[in-house]
Chain A
Amino acid sequence: NAGVTQTPKFRILKIGQSMTLQCAQDMNHNYMYWYRQDPGMGLKLIYYSVGAGITDKGEVPNGYNVSRSTTEDFPLRLELAAPSQTSVYFCASSYEGSLGANTEAFFGQGTRLTVV
């Protein structure tokens, strides 16, 4: 059981380039999330999704886009990379519990992105 898989693990981008961070989960979770973690800091929510075809902004969505065409995949798109987007990006998924609340999240190993 692979859990949450993120690719790539590392990437260096030049300012203005674009890229897509891939995230896939095989646990049939309906909720998926993208977080960024800056050095020595906590996690900030970029975007999240409660199911295929539904996405919503978190606290730091500017400069990013997402899509959720299937339950399994939740890619994160950077259109015009900026140095401020240098960070470690984590994808996570969770499922809806019996009372309608989501339960614990399962995390990928992260993508370390540097924009120069």
Chain B
Amino acid sequence: GDSVTQMEGPVTLSEEAFLTINCTYTATGYPSLFWYVQYPGEGLQLLLKATKADDKGSNKGFEATYRKETTSFHLEKGSVQVSDSAVYFCALTSASKIIFGSGTRLSIRP
């Protein structure tokens, strides 16, 4: 079945460092792809999305490009802040369901 694989954490970076969190997917159709963020004690909230190949989603300085040829949707940010510390989930739509990766915990040191 359809699935999402993302890099394991935790990931610890210094403030202003460059961030990449890898995400690859397996899908039989043409899914939409998402990144969600979960701050401590809260539910998940949408960070960005892309609905077709070569689309780039962006929000709050984060970007991800839908790469059909490599079945990837890697999350990037050029300069992270302490406030970016959270758990990040890659996800895809599969028929009537939304399938999530296992999450990557990101911690940013001041």
Contacts and interface: CB of A to CB of B under 8 A. Distances in A.
A43 B99 CA distance: 8
B46 interface: yes
B93 interface: yes
B43 A109 contact: yes
Interface residues of B, number: 20
Contacts of A56: 96
Contact of B96 (A50, A92, A107): A50
Interface stretch (B17-25, B73-81, B100-108): B100-108
A105 B49 CA distance: 11
Contacts of B69: none
A102 B43 contact: no
Tier of interface size on chain A: 20 to 34
Nearest to A30: B96
Contacts of B42: 109-110
A45 B103 contact: no
A31 B94 CA distance: 13
Nearest to B103: A42
B82 interface: no
Interface in A38-58: 41-43, 45, 48, 50, 56, 58
A108 B43 contact: yes
Counting chain B CB atoms within 10 Å of each CB, which of A41, A43, A102 scores highest?
A: A43
B93 A90 contact: no
Contact of B46 (A41, A48, A58, A104): A104
Interface of B: 31-32, 34, 42-46, 49, 51, 89, 93, 96-103
Interface of A: 4, 31, 33, 35, 41-43, 45, 48, 50, 56, 58, 90, 92, 94, 97, 101-110
Given A103-B93, A110-B43, 11 more contacts: A33-B98, A35-B100, A43-B44, A45-B98, A97-B51, A101-B32, A101-B93, A103-B32, A107-B45, A108-B43, A109-B42
18 contacts: A31-B96, A33-B98, A35-B100, A42-B101, A48-B96, A48-B97, A50-B96, A90-B43, A90-B44, A101-B32, A101-B93, A102-B93, A102-B96, A103-B49, A104-B46, A106-B46, A107-B43, A110-B42
